[in-house]
Amino acid sequence: MKTPCADATKIVQQMKYSLHFIFASKQKSDVTIGEFHTKVKQQQKGLVVLVEEDDCFVSDKNTPVSLDWVSGVNSSLPVYILQDHSQLVFLYAGAHVGIIYNHTSNSQHLLQGHCSPISCMCVSEDRRWIGTADQNKKSTVILWDSYSGIPVHTLFDCHPNGGVIAIAFSGDAKQLVTLGNERAQCVCIWDWTNDCHEPLWLTELRPEYGYQNYVIYNPNNSTQLLSSSESQVLFYSTVSSGTFDLYCETHKLAGGPLSPSVFHWREFRILTPSRAGVIMVWDLTQDLDSNQRLSRDHVKIISLQEHPITVLTVVDNCIVTGDTRGHVNFYDENMLLLTWFTQLNLDPIVSISFSKEFEREYLEDGTLDTKPVLGRNFVVSSSTSAVVHVNMERSTWRVLLQENCDPLHAVACHPKQPAVAMGNCSGSLKIWDYREKHHLRCNLKSGLKDGFELNADTFSSRAGRYLAVGFASGAVHFLDANTLQSDPKECFDYPPDSISHMSFSHDSRYLATAVSCLAVTLFRMQQPQWIYLGRYRSHYKPITDLLFGVHQDSSKPRLFTLGVDRLLVSLQFSKRLEQSAVPKCMTWYPPLSSEEFLVVASDQYKMKLFNSMSKTCRKTLLGPTYGSPVKKIGILPTSENNESGSHYMAYVTEDKVGLQILPLDGNPYKSQAVVCHPTGVSAFAYSHDGLFVFTAGGPDCTVLSWQISYSALEGAAALGGKELEPYYTLLEGGRNGEFYREIEDFFYYCQIHNQGLESMETRQLSPKIPLTELPSLMRALAYFPTEEEVEDMLNEVKLGQYTETGEYITDINLAELIKLYINHRPAFGISAEELITAFEVLGEPGGPAGKPVLDRDRMLELLQVRGEAMSEDELAECFTGLFGLFEVKEDENPEADFFKTDNVSQEYTLESVIPEKISIEIFTHHILGLPSSSPSLTPKKGHKGSEQQLDDD
């Protein structure tokens, strides 16, 4: 949750407190990272500073939605060991969050500040400073204090054309180098300790250098650094005002793609490993000229091993390699093997990080003589998200993490226990205790067929005895929730139709699944096992959600399905819910009134309440508007900590998770959201006590646990104001703006119009206008609802209190009008893209520059036969008003309708004023009368303009 920082001094005090401990720790060597975290948390209570664009935000445990735990590792990024003495602490990344994990206390300190996935990170030599970067359009680099977890410096827009692909500290940690991901890559050096916002030095790399993806400083000389690609290595020096760029065609020499290079610990050399198992040693000279190619006489090729080398690092006069077999080998400077670790059972190694503390000075190696060798413990990470800690003194190792390394699309919470099930695309399934933070059970494809991609899972509704899992192959397995084992008789395999949705009935006797072939499959518990009932194709477009309910006159379950075809389907009926919007999800509305409602969210940022029996739309409300429409919703169970007694709804958009206070009323301050998975949310679930929400990130291979604070949400809503104050902020200009005055003027004009414009009687002042004036008033405010939308608005007001009083409402006041207008009007208006899409669907190629054009006769025919068909008089009336073709007669009644056909000048016809071929520009400027300075309407490529699409829409 992000809220504007109301007291900037609080952050400054936090920073000063952090710096105080930083300098104090330098005086006391016995202060450890783990101890420091404990002290800072006691003072901070979880405060973390977040930065987004030019605003400052604060996120803490007292916000409505706060990140509690990250399950998953970005396996492509390195893992760094921060402490290995009294406590084992290491750093890794997951999605857009950096994680400082204390393995000893099983706790995480989360580095939140990025709005895009972390693309690279680094740590200083003394493990005191952490750097993280992303590849957003507004790329951000954040420097953190590893002891407090507080950001101490932020670089904004440092590589705006592609973000940052690599980052590194100098040996003294006073400088930072960033390597951009631009088409023409740039290397920048920043003096970050002096609060700089512009690079000290930068250079643009030539395309022939290849795509550089790694950068590192010389630890012994902060004026030298190198970058490397799979085929070339570049050397840089900043001793003088110029730069020395060195490159060599090393791909052919190495016999395979190159891995990241390192500097020699003593000599002026560069060591470059390759995927062919060789190491190249570059002997550099101090008199290099700028852009000089290194002679091959200065490059020595050493065949070190048969298997590809993926990682090379140097530490304490030793060369350490990691390879594709998961082996770690130690060599001396003469490339003689000293010791090795071949039984780690790892996949290809991604990183090796050594502790800064020595365990002991000497270690016996595999040779006959005893030589001084590395005495530091280290952490190894693999391409399958495994992290292993190796104790050099005891020659032992243990697995610290074994996280998901495949996309996650399935997450479900147990209905009675603090357990959440997570499944990935490799078919692996595990159950995690979100209270104690440890795994309860794991099923690594045991009993499941190899190659099955797990797409969905759900616990049975009553006691969580069963865990149903669905696969991309179309298979459905019923597992015992305690053992994660299944009876072969309860494994149902079907043709390859991917399972997208699953839902148990309230009594856990039925399970419904939706598959990609637009059909619903039903299973029933018939003791002692589950049986297959059948499959029904309920939609002609993909199913977006399915939901069980209960018949009002019995306890029998009933099933609803929702589709892109805008249909709500049950066994007893099928109803079209929308005209243009696409429904995304649905759930049962809590019993806040005597009616039973289904709440349906659409892609137009609206939420509608439908009567569960009549299926009529009873309310239309503005939903959360956080960049993308709501895609999944769920009503949270009432918890013991819910002091207000209110009901709440959790939801996810394309990349955010949020909370909403019920009842729904369009108040924007009753909803809060935060970025959870920048690459997209694939699934979400909530705990049985309503205190946690879990989101799966799909391609980012993580599941995030979010802790909920209802009191914080209520407090944020209270800050928005009372009565109409929150709604004024949604009007252009607010309460004192010109648009609000127009609303008032039109409202009072409707009162006069209803009493008669030429009436000489005393005007009867009233705070309300009749509902008959509502359609005209909405259109006067530039909102042009369809006839169905008009009927929904009238019914919403007319039936607002019918179930309580048994009477219809026939008028509306100004406050109710403003709420109705805000909730029903398009959330962001009508975009140019929508108009372009309509022309590409209805029109045909033939316009200038290949743009689609619409035939006049076809347009008039479509208006009279498609959708809400218009009569000839209505058609003439509309175009008469658009073109201003009416004539005003001298004796005309002021209240007469000037737009009727008998008032139209006879010299004009539709054929004479409408061109035979209508382009987007003609329709926009000539017919609609929009100014020519409006945004350019350029058709998009790839839209399907066919009769089938027209029929569907």
Q: What is the pLDDT of residue 904?
A: 47
Looking at the fold, whether 25 and 125 belong to one and the same domain comes out as no
* Structural domain contains residue 398: no
Strands (E) located in 516-596: 519-526, 529-537, 543-550, 557-563, 567-569, 574-576, 583-588
Looking at the fold, whether 274 and 327 belong to one and the same domain comes out as yes
Q: What is the mean pLDDT of the segment spanning 51-73?
A: 66
Looking at the fold, whether 340 and 421 belong to one and the same domain comes out as no
CB distance 364 to 370 below 8 Å: yes
Q: Is 602 helix (H, G, I), strand (E, B) or coil?
A: strand
* Structural domain contains residue 402: no
Please state, rounded to an integer, the average pLDDT across all residues of the chain: 82
Looking at the fold, whether 5 and 123 belong to one and the same domain comes out as no
688 burial via Cβ count (<10 Å: 0-12, 13-18, 19+): middle
Given 656, 690, 720, which residue is the final one in a domain? Answer: 720
More reliable by pLDDT, 359 or 618: 618
Task: Kindly indicate the confidence band of residue 442, based on its pLDDT and cuts at 50, 70 and 90.
Answer: confident
* Structural domain contains residue 639: yes
* Structural domain contains residue 233: yes
* Structural domain contains residue 538: yes
Looking at the fold, whether 173 and 239 belong to one and the same domain comes out as yes
How far are the Cα atoms of 88, 255, 398, 699, 788 from residue 208, in angstroms, in the given order? Answer: 44, 19, 44, 32, 62
More reliable by pLDDT, 349 or 200: 349
Based on C-alpha coordinates, what's the Rg of the chain?
33
Q: How far is CA 457 from the centre of its chain?
A: 21
Q: What is the mean pLDDT of the segment spanning 235-240?
A: 77
User: CA-based angle 820:826:829, to the nearest 5?
Assistant: 135
CATH value at residue 275: 2.130.10.10
* Structural domain contains residue 531: yes
Looking at the fold, whether 283 and 318 belong to one and the same domain comes out as yes
- Percent of the chain, pLDDT > 90? 49
* Residue 48 pLDDT greater than 50, yes or no: no
Task: Kindly indicate the confidence band of residue 435, based on its pLDDT and cuts at 50, 70 and 90.
Answer: very high
Q: What is the pLDDT of residue 510?
A: 94
CATH value at residue 777: 1.10.238.10
Neighbour count for residue 696 (Cβ, 10 Å): 30
More reliable by pLDDT, 517 or 224: 224
Looking at the fold, whether 20 and 145 belong to one and the same domain comes out as no
* Structural domain contains residue 129: yes
More reliable by pLDDT, 677 or 879: 677
Looking at the fold, whether 812 and 854 belong to one and the same domain comes out as no
pLDDT digits (tens, 9 = 90+) for 159-177: 988 999 999 999 999 999 9
CB distance 899 to 875 below 8 Å: no
Given 678, 694, 720, which residue is the final one in a domain? Answer: 720
Looking at the fold, whether 329 and 420 belong to one and the same domain comes out as no
More reliable by pLDDT, 551 or 596: 596
Tell me the angle at which helices 856-865 and 872-883 cross, rounded to the nearest 10 degrees: 130
d(CA 295, CA 234): 14
Looking at the fold, whether 810 and 706 belong to one and the same domain comes out as no
Place of tokens 């962001």: 828
Looking at the fold, whether 751 and 855 belong to one and the same domain comes out as no
Stated pTM of the model: 0.86
Task: Kindly indicate the confidence band of residue 291, based on its pLDDT and cuts at 50, 70 and 90.
Answer: low
* Structural domain contains residue 951: no
pLDDT digits (tens, 9 = 90+) for 68-95: 999 999 999 999 999 988 899 999 999 9
pLDDT digits (tens, 9 = 90+) for 530-562: 999 999 998 999 999 999 999 877 788 999 999
Given 667, 696, 720, which residue is the final one in a domain? Answer: 720
Looking at the fold, whether 115 and 170 belong to one and the same domain comes out as yes
Residue 542, by phi and psi: left (phi above 0), alpha (psi -120 to 50) or beta? Answer: beta
Whether the link from the prior residue into 528 is cis, omega within 30° of 0, is yes
Range of the domain at 920: 1-32+844-886+908-929
Query: Domain count of the chain?
Result: 4
